[in-house]
Structure 1
Amino acid sequence: MKSTVAQRLFLTLLILGLLFYGGLQVWWSASLRYKTETVYSYTVSESAEVDGLLLRQEEVLPDRIGSGVAVYLAQDGDKVSIGYPITEVYRSAEDAKNTARLRELTRQKEQLEEAQDPGTTTYLQTDVLNKQIFSELGSIIDAVNAGRMETIAEDADDLLVLMNKKEIATGRQENFNGEIERLEAEMSYYSGRNSQDPRVISASKPGYFIRKLDGFEGAVDFSQLDELDPQSLRRLMNRPEASEEDGRVGKLMTDHNWYYAALVPAEEAGLYQEGVWVTLDFSLSGMGPVDAFIYQINQDPDTGEAVVLFRSDYINEQLVNLRITPATVTFRSIRGLRVSSSAIQYQGIERGVYVVRGDVMQFKPVTLLYEGNGFVLCLETDLMDPSYESNLKQYDEVVVEGAQLYDNKPMQ
C-alpha cells in the first residue's frame, strides 16, 4: 500500500516536472521569435489651416477699351516695362481675326525657314536631333504635369521646328519652299484686309500685368500694415469682389512682393513667429506650396486673435488673380528614418535599435529627430559619411518585438 502511494507520488512529480520543462521550452522558443520591420525615409510636416486675403500694391491703368475689340498681348502675371504693348484695340472683331490669322501664318513661315536654314541643318546628326526631340517632348510632359500651360505652346513650336529639321537632315524633305510660298500668298491676302491699324495701349510704368479688376485695388494702405487688426481684415474679407465694368484695360502690380493676411485664432497665435519661413499652399491645380516668411503679427491685446502677414515674391498667373482664399501653412518639415517606437532599446545609457545583419542582430545607436504616435524619426547618415555603414540606414530590418536582445546575438 505504501509502495502504491509512493509510486503515485513519483508519477505525479514526474508529470509536473515534464509539464514544467515543456512549458519552459515553449517560453524559451517564443522568446527567440522576433518581429522585424523595414526602415524607410519619412517626412513629417507641422501645419495649420487659415483663411485670409492676398494683398498686392496695384494701380489701375487709366486706358479704356471703349467700343472696340481688345486683343491682349500681355498675359496675367507678365512682367512689363514702360511702353510695353499690353493690348491692341481693333475697330471690329473681323479686323482682330484677320490680324490673328496673319500672325499665325507669319509664325509658321518663320518656323519653316528656320528648319531649312543651311546654317542650322548642314552639320546636324540624326542622333543629336533625336535627343533634342525627346528632350523637348519631356519638357512638354513636365509642363503638363506641373500645370504650366503657358509654356506648352512655345515648347510645341520648338518641337515642330526640330521635327522639320530632321526631315531635312534625313533627306525625306529637300526643302519647304512650296509651303513657304503658299503661306506668303495667304499672308498677302490677309495683310490688306484691315481698314486701319489697331490702337495700342502700352504700360505707363513697370510692373506685373493683371487683367481682372475686383474692387480691392487700393483697399489697404501698405505703409500702415501694422494697423491691420482682425476686425479690419474681417470687414475686408466680408466685402464682395466686384468687377469694375468701365472698360478699363486692367491694372499693374507695382511691387514684386505681395502679402497674405490671415486670421489666426488666439489659441493658435503662438505657432507663429516673425521672420520664420513657411510654405503657403492655396490648393491651386498644377501649383505646389509657395515659400513665404512671416512678415508681421498684429495681435488683438483683448481677444488674443491675430492677423498674421506673410510675404512672398513668387508670381504666376494663378496667384495674381487670387484674392480671398484659405491656405495651409506648413511651418517645418522633418525628414528622417521612420521606425516604430517599440524598436527603441538601450545599451547602458545609449539609445539605439537592433538591426538584423545576416544571422545575428547588431545594435546601432540612433539620434531622434521627432517622436510621433507610435513611431520616431531618426537622423539619416549621409551616404559619403565614413560611419554610414555602421549607422542606421534606409531598408535596414530592425527588431520591433522580442526578448533578451543583445549585440551580436544569433537569430536562431
Structure 2
Amino acid sequence: MKQGTVITRIMIVLMFFMVCAYLLFSVLRSLDDRTYTVTTYAHTVDDAVEATGLLIRAETVVTGQTAAIVDVLPDQGEKVRAGAAVAYLYQDESALDRRRELRTLTLEQEQLKYALQGQDGTDASRLDQSIVDAMVGLRTSAAYGDLTSLEEQSLSFKSLVIRHGYASDAGVDELSAAITALDAQIQALQSASALDTTTVYAPCSGTFSAMADGYESTLYPDMLESLTAASFKQLMAQDPTAPAGAVGKLITNSKWYLATTVSPEVAERLVVGRSVTVRFSRDWSGEVSMKIERVDEATDGACLVILSSTRNLADTSMLRKQTVDIVFNSLDGIRVPKKAVRTENRAVTDPETGETTTKQVIGVYVLTAAQAEFKAVEILADDGDYYLVQAVLPDVPTDNQLKTAFRAGDQVIVSSDELYDGKVMTK
C-alpha cells in the first residue's frame, strides 16, 4: 500500500471524528438551558371571536348587451351620477381600436381649441421661453409630489407646443382648419362606432362596484326584517350566478349590513345599540366600527346577529361572503415566555406605615449588566406558550422606579436554574 493512500485515509477518519464531535457539542449546547435570554417586545392580544357572514346593501345591477369586450369606466368604489356612462361594449377588437383612436383625436381637438383661445400673436422667442417655464413647472411639481394641478399644467404645456407649431401670421386660421379637420374625423369615427359599440349608462346614482354576484336580488336591507338563523344558513349555502350582461352594480345607500350567526355565549356579550369592532382580513384588510342592530334568540344553537355601518363603503363594495373577527377588547402589553415568569416570596414595604411584610410577587428576571435583576409584572392574558404582562409599579412611583421598571426590549432570562437578584450570569 502506498504511503500517500494511508495518510489520506487517516485524514478522512480524523475529519469524520471531528465532525461528529462538533455535532455532539452542538446538540449538548442546545439542550443546555441553564442560562439563555429572550428579547421581549410589545404585543396586543385581542378578545375576539371569528364569525362568517354576508354583507348586505341596497344594490342595483347595471346590465348591457352581450359583448366580446367590456370596458368599465368608473373605478371600484367610485361615486357615479345617474345617466353617466359606466361602460363601453365592443363587438370586436376593431371596435376597441376605433374607440381608442376616437379618444386620442378628441383630446387633440381639445388641445387645439385650448391653443386657439390663447392665440394672441406671441412671437416664437417668447413662446420658447414659455415652453421652458412650463417644463420647469412640471418638473418642480413632480419633484415635490404635488399633483393637484398636474392636469392643468400638462394641458397648458401641450397647448404651448401646439401654438409654437402654428406661430405665424396665419396661426389662427391654421388652428381653426385643423380643428375642423379633426371634427370631421371624429364624426366619421362616431358614425362607425354606432354599429359595433354600445354605451351603458347608470340607471341611478350610487357607488360603483364591478362585481355583480347574483345575490343582489335576494340580499337587500328590507329582507333583514324576515331573516332568521335558519334562512341565513340557506343563503350561505347558495351559489348564485351573476345576471347575464351585468357590467357591475350601483350601491344606492351608504348604510350597509353584516349578517352572521354566533353562539349563545357570544350573543350574550352583544348589546343592541352599542358598537363593536369588526376586523376584515381576507379579501380586504381593515377594521370597521359597526352598530349592533339586532341579536336574536338561539335557534339550533345559533343566534342571528345583524350589524350595520356607514363607513368604508368603497373598501367593502366588492365583498360578500366574509369571515371576520368580532373584537370585544384589545389588551396591550409585553409578550414574555411562560418559562420566564416566576412567583417568589419577596419583602414588600408599605410606603405609608413603613411596615415590611412578605408577599408572593409575580415577576421575571432580566439580564442587566451580566447580572440577574427581578422585576415585578402583572399577567394580563394567556397567549399559549406566552403571557401578556405589564410592569407593576407602586402607587406613587419614583423616577428611578420608572427607569428600572420592566419594559419591551428587556432581555428576560429563561432558565431552570435558581435565580436571585445580583446573580452573575455566564453564557
8 Å CA contact 1:95–1:193 kept in 2: the answer is no
How many Å separate the matches in 2 of 1:179 and 1:44?
66
Structure 1 gap ranges (5+): 1-32, 137-153, 163-167, 169-174
> Does 1:194 find its partner at 2:194?
no
8 Å CA contact 1:297–1:306 kept in 2: the answer is no
Compared with structure 1, are the counterparts of its residues 255 and 411 closer, same or farther at alpha carbon in structure 2 (3 Å cutoff)?
same
How many Å separate the matches in 1 of 2:50 and 2:108?
49
Matched residue type, 1:252: L
8 Å CA contact 2:267–2:303 kept in 1: the answer is yes
Compared with structure 1, are the counterparts of its residues 49 and 371 closer, same or farther at alpha carbon in structure 2 (3 Å cutoff)?
closer
Q: 2:340 aligns with which of 320, 343, 352?
A: 343
1:1-150 → structure 2 map (5 Å cutoff): 34-60=35-61, 64-65=64-65, 71-88=71-88, 94-104=94-104, 117-122=131-136, 131-132=143-144
Q: 1:365 aligns with which of 356, 373, 376?
A: 376
Matched residue type, 1:44: V
Q: CA deviation at 1:216?
A: 2.7
Deviations 1:70-106 (A, max 9, x none): 6432244221234433245679864553232332566
Corresponding residue for 1:281?
280
Deviations 1:329-351 (A, max 9, x none): 15244342111223334434443
8 Å CA contact 2:54–2:260 kept in 1: the answer is yes
Q: Matched residue of 1:193: which SS?
A: helix
Corresponding residue for 1:310?
307
Corresponding residue for 1:390?
404
1:179-190 → structure 2 map (5 Å cutoff): none
Q: CA deviation at 1:39?
A: 1.5
Corresponding residue for 2:218?
219
Compared with structure 1, are the counterparts of its residues 187 and 310 closer, same or farther at alpha carbon in structure 2 (3 Å cutoff)?
farther
Matched residue type, 1:40: Y
TM-score where L is the length of structure 1: 0.62
Matched residue type, 2:233: R
Corresponding residue for 1:400?
414
How many Å separate the matches in 2 of 1:187 and 1:336?
68
Compared with structure 1, are the counterparts of its residues 195 and 68 closer, same or farther at alpha carbon in structure 2 (3 Å cutoff)?
farther
Q: CA deviation at 1:233?
A: 1.0
Matched residue type, 1:254: T
Corresponding residue for 1:150?
none
Corresponding residue for 2:22?
none
Q: Matched residue of 1:393: which SS?
A: coil
Corresponding residue for 2:366?
355
Corresponding residue for 1:15?
none
Q: Matched residue of 1:395: which SS?
A: coil
How many Å separate the matches in 2 of 1:34 and 1:282?
39
Q: CA deviation at 1:388?
A: 5.1
What is the number of equivalent residue pairs in this alignment?
A: 335
Q: CA deviation at 1:394?
A: 2.4
Q: Matched residue of 1:51: which SS?
A: strand
8 Å CA contact 1:53–1:260 kept in 2: the answer is yes
Q: CA deviation at 1:250?
A: 4.7
How many Å separate the matches in 2 of 1:84 and 1:410?
77
Compared with structure 1, are the counterparts of its residues 235 and 342 closer, same or farther at alpha carbon in structure 2 (3 Å cutoff)?
closer
Q: Matched residue of 2:364: which SS?
A: strand
Q: CA deviation at 1:262?
A: 1.7
How many Å separate the matches in 1 of 2:165 and 2:55?
49
Deviations 1:287-341 (A, max 9, x none): 3134242523443445331122233431347x43333x24131524434211122
Corresponding residue for 2:27?
none
Deviates more, 1:222-231 or 1:264-273: 264-273
Deviates more, 1:101-110 or 1:216-225: 101-110
Q: 2:261 aligns with which of 260, 263, 267?
A: 263
> Does 1:210 find its partner at 2:209?
yes
